[in-house]
Structure 1
Amino acid sequence: MAGITARRVVVALDCPDARELAEFYAAMLGWRIRDDAEYSDWVDVVPPEGEPGAVALACQTVPDFRAPTWPGGPVPTQVHLDFYVDSIADSEPAVLAAGARRHDHQPSPDGQFVVYLDPVGHPFCLCEE
């Protein structure tokens, strides 16, 4: 059976304030925010105009949002993002300046990925191949 042909994939993140989290990811990635006045609870974060990008992020306001408690605890991680970069050391200052923080738990034995938390607690990684 043949699969679908998706022109774009959007990964949506639940959060307490869609605009605030979208601003974090836009700043961290150098992407732009695309507003849709019809949906105030949903904000898209997309690659810059003209830059190819079949993947985008969206931030969705959820009134009863609870931050994930990864690696254990009562609130599971619903999504995990990996951002592949040329150098974690060179990329980390921009990630921290945007508002992320390093997670206390770092499971990579060889440092090929580092776990961070976005401002509302979603874990994500910077990875080197």
Structure 2
Amino acid sequence: MCSNTVFAPASSSNIETGLPKIIISSDDPVASNLAAGYAAGIKMLAAGSTKAGFVSGIKADFSVAAADGFLAGIRVLIPEATLATTYTATSTTRPRPRKPSPPRSARASASSIPTSVARPTQPRPQRRTATS
């Protein structure tokens, strides 16, 4: 399905993948989000708004730079615009513990179900032979 597709995920540094169809680019978060902020500014002008929001994950240098770029893009069109920035994680945020799955032996698999149960057999119809 994707044999002719080249994937280009963004990164803060150019990383060699060794894979022919994956290119990781070196992106500047300020430049990338400047364009996004400009697009948001167009929508804000149409709505008559001067307030925007920016939601990110962990508060780190790249996410702060991204928010700065986003606001700069908006301010190209709306110089008095303000931005409320929310960081949803911290460096000490730990993922919620996952509910343990049942032991493998307790889970049914196709190979553990007897064939006679999984696929009931039906009697084959008898062949009729032509009589001369």
TM over 0.5: no
Scaled by the length of structure 2, the TM-score of the pair is: 0.21
Q: Name the structure with the higher helix share.
A: 2
Q: Name the structure with the higher strand share.
A: 1
Q: Highest CA radius of gyration, 1 or 2?
A: 2
Scaled by the length of structure 1, the TM-score of the pair is: 0.21
